[in-house]
Amino acid sequence: MGEQRLKASSFLVSVLLVFQLVNGEDPYRFFTWNVSYGDIYPLGVKQQGILINGQFPGPLIESVTNDNLVINVFNSLDEPFLLSWNGIMQRRNSWQDGVFGTNCPIQPGRNFTYHLQVKDQIGSFFYFPSLAFHKAAGGYGGIKIASRSVIPVPFPPPAGDYTVLAGDWFKQNHTDLKAILDNGHDLPFPDGLLINGRGSSAFTFNVEQGKTYRFRVSNVGLTTSINFRIQGHKLVLVEVEGTHSLQNTYDSIDVHLGQSYSVLVTADQPPKDYYIVVSTRFTSPVLTTTSALHYSNSAGGLDGTPPGGPTTQIDWSINQARSLRRNSTASGPRPNPQGSYHYGMINTTRTIRLVNSAPVIDGKQRYAVNSVSFITPDTPLKLADYFKISGVYSLGGIQDYPTGGANLRTAVMPADFRGFVEVVFENPEDTVQSWHVDGHHFFVVGMDGGQWSAASRNGYNLRDTISRVTVQVYPKSWTAIYMPLDNVGMWNVRSENWARQYLGQQFYLRVYSPANSWRDEAPIPHNVILCGQAVGHHQP
Helix (H), strand (E) at residue 2: helix 2-23
d(CA 449, CA 429): 12
The three-class DSSP label of residue 107 is coil
Which stretches in the chain have pLDDT values below 70?
A: 1-24, 539-540
Q: ∠ CA(21), CA(122), CA(472), 5° rounding?
A: 145
DSSP-assigned letter for residue 90: -
Q: ∠ CA(33), CA(216), CA(170), 5° rounding?
A: 65
Q: What is the CATH number of domain 343-524?
A: 2.60.40.420
Q: Which pLDDT score, from 0 to 100, does residue 24 have? A: 61
Sequence-distant (6+) residues with CB within 8 A of 337 are 328, 329, 330, 331
* Cβ atoms within 10 Å, residue 527: 11
> Alpha carbon 272 to chain centroid distance?
34
Q: Which pLDDT score, from 0 to 100, does residue 10 have? A: 43
Q: Which fold has domain 160-323?
A: Immunoglobulin-like (2.60.40)
Same fold across 28-146 and 160-323: yes
Classify residue 363 as left (phi > 0), alpha (psi -120 to 50) or beta. Answer: left
The three-class DSSP label of residue 196 is coil
Sequence-distant (6+) residues with CB within 8 A of 80 are 105, 106, 107, 108, 131, 132
d(CA 457, CA 446): 8
Give the Å distances, CA to CA, from 321 to 112, 164, 447. Answer: 39, 20, 9
Please state the domain extents for the chain. 28-146, 160-323, 343-524
Q: Which pLDDT score, from 0 to 100, does residue 132 have? A: 95
Q: How far apart are the first and last CA of the chain?
A: 28
DSSP 21-88: HHHTPPPEEEEEEEEEEEEE-TTSS-EEEEEETTBSS-PPEEEETT-EEEEEEEE-SSS-B-EEEET-
DSSP-assigned letter for residue 188: -
d(CA 521, CA 512): 10
Sequence-distant (6+) residues with CB within 8 A of 119 are 66, 89, 91
Q: Which pLDDT score, from 0 to 100, does residue 3 have? A: 41
Per-residue pLDDT reduced to its tens digit, 312-328: 999 999 999 999 999 99
- The superfamily CATH assigns to domain 28-146 is Cupredoxins -  blue copper proteins (2.60.40.420)
Sequence-distant (6+) residues with CB within 8 A of 239 are 122, 123, 124, 245, 261, 262
